[in-house]
A and B are shown apart, each in its own frame.
Chain A
Amino acid sequence: MSLTLEQVRRIAELARIEISDAEAESALGHLNRIFFLIEEMQAVDASGVEPMAHAQDLAQRLREDRVTETDRRGAYQAIAPETEAGLYLVPKVIE
């Protein structure tokens, strides 16, 4: 299986990444090499092996339901490009 240039542009669009034609060509090559690797792995007979959800065979650690954070809005908003009335301002997006 290999990707088409069209699919690369679609993925970039979904991720809101602007790519030039040259970058798309280059990304296509990189991604197809990854797909090649996946194909190689898929050739291995893994029937009867339970799929893993994580590389480590461990269980998720849980935290107690406690509020541990304090209001640090000032610090966070100091590094934001634009804020107003406590809100982060972003280019208008309406669905």
Chain B
Amino acid sequence: MNWEIVIGLETHAHLATRSKIFSGSSTAFGAEPNAQANAVDLALPGVLPVLNRAAVECAIRFGLAVEGRVARKSVFARKNYFYPDLPKAYQISQYELPVVVGGGVAISLGKTEKAGEEAMEKTIRLTRAHLEEDAGKSLHEDFRGKSGIDLNRAGTPLLEIVSEPDMRSSAEAVAYARALHTLVRWIGVSDGNLQEGSFRCDANVSVRPAGQREFGTRREIKNLNSFRFLQQAIDYEAQWQIATLEDGGRIEQATVLFDPGTGETRAMRTKEDAHDYRYFPDPDLLPLIIDDEWIERARAAMPELPEPRRRRFIDEYGLSAYDAATLTSSLEVADYFEAAVAAAGGSAAKPCANWVMGDLAARLNREDRALAESPVSAAQLGGLVARIVDGTLSNNIAKQVFEALWNGEGGNHPKAADEIIEKRGLKQITDAGAIDALLDQVLAANPSMVAEFKAGREKAFNALVGQAMKAARGKANPQQLNARLREKLER
């Protein structure tokens, strides 16, 4: 039988605020245990939560970015459950009236592969996004048979983004998670740090016979904090469900955990002991009112989004779909690329793209640096590319200049490439007379090679080019040199 896999994701993104959602504690990662857990976070008696404006601003920006509806009125609710890293015994969340309703995220598959696969585009619809607080962390190592609780993370603002069950493969789920990850970082609402748990996904997976309208029974895989685990977990879970059904078994609704060690999912709790969260409006918090003026102010402050920017890169600069997707993988890369093009001139867009994705990316990678830490500024790289485009530098010599720029030669001056070319005398020789004189010397000094060439050995031609390039210390324009040499030899 043909089976269709149905996936919906719930994604928790830590919001990029300085302080917690309901208290003035710091949200900085990596502090001493409980050094950032105050009376509100600890749920000491008599405390009251006060909502952080910046967390709301993040939710508004997200709602605008996904073209959802930002609710003029939303309500905080208590989600009741017992766990030691949740000291209030309820999480403040939103239930019936979330801050963002609807919207969608565009995904494209195949676009990021270099060749072959055909690109597939699709929009994953969002159900909602709501504000809530994170819980603390439990450490189950042995503290004399007890668990240790660190409440630094308790109260960190989260946006929970819930998708519709619109994905049909693990590849689509990963493409969606990646697109969402790019988006939240792009609009500055989350740092999206996967290692620090700032971006976590729960995947709801079910299978059904192809063509069936009703969904199958779903199981929810909790807490996937890498794209690879997301893919592995969904693949395993879907195959397990298919195998179970084909063996005549039934799927029970359950919450499952993914074990990266074995690559398997296993049930954590089934429906019988499912949580009953007993949501109700939190009497400590009044309804959140967002007026049109606030939304319009947020709209005016939004950057151009990844999707429209990707399309513009194709239309305006004539980039390939692959280049445009790579250069819009983050706001930093897109801004760097456009700043380089601005310095190099609009016609230099393709070589700028090649340098940003090629030499620059490779060099950053080798030294494990982020683009923001690049010693070569966008203006400097653009200045270098301009000298390739206008014929001053060959690609090979340009690599030397790039190396010099990387090592800080020319300081942070935007025209540093020109200074290096001048100082080192790297200007390409394009003067026909100079190239002729050079070639005449080389031909006179290597009569045996000339004779070999005339005897029909093409290899000798390359040897002569090598000699001439050596004499020019690599600076002769290679196309000109080749053409002129052949003319002279075949005359």
Contacts and interface: CB of A to CB of B under 8 A. Distances in A.
Contacts of A37: none
Given A85-B33, A92-B147, A65 B19 contact: yes
Interface string B352-380: 00000000000000000000000000000
Interface in B9-38: 17-19, 23-26, 32-38
Contact of A66 (B18, B36, B44, B80): B18
Contact of B37 (A53, A62, A76): A76
Contacts of B150: 86-87
Interface in B37-62: 37-39, 42, 44, 50-56
A92 B147 CA distance: 5
Interface residues of A, number: 38
B222 to A, nearest CB: 10
B281 interface: yes
B418 to A, nearest CB: 44
A24 to B, nearest CB: 18
Contact of A54 (B138, B268, B281): B281
Interface residues of B, number: 56
A88 interface: yes
A71 to B, nearest CB: 4
A89 B148 contact: yes
A14 interface: yes
Contact of B51 (A14, A60, A76, A82): A60
B50 A61 contact: yes
A55 B283 CA distance: 8
B82 interface: yes
A95 B139 CA distance: 12
A10 B80 CA distance: 14
Nearest to B41: A69
Contact of B147 (A53, A73, A86, A89): A89
Nearest to A68: B24
B97 interface: yes
Interface in B139-170: 139-140, 143-151
Interface of B: 17-19, 23-26, 32-39, 42, 44, 50-56, 75-76, 80-84, 89, 97, 138-140, 143-151, 268-269, 276, 278, 281, 283, 285-289
Interface of A: 10, 14-16, 53-56, 58-69, 71-73, 76-77, 82, 84-95
Given A15-B82, A65-B19, A88-B151, 11 more contacts: A54-B286, A63-B51, A63-B52, A64-B54, A65-B17, A69-B36, A85-B148, A86-B33, A90-B146, A94-B147, A95-B269
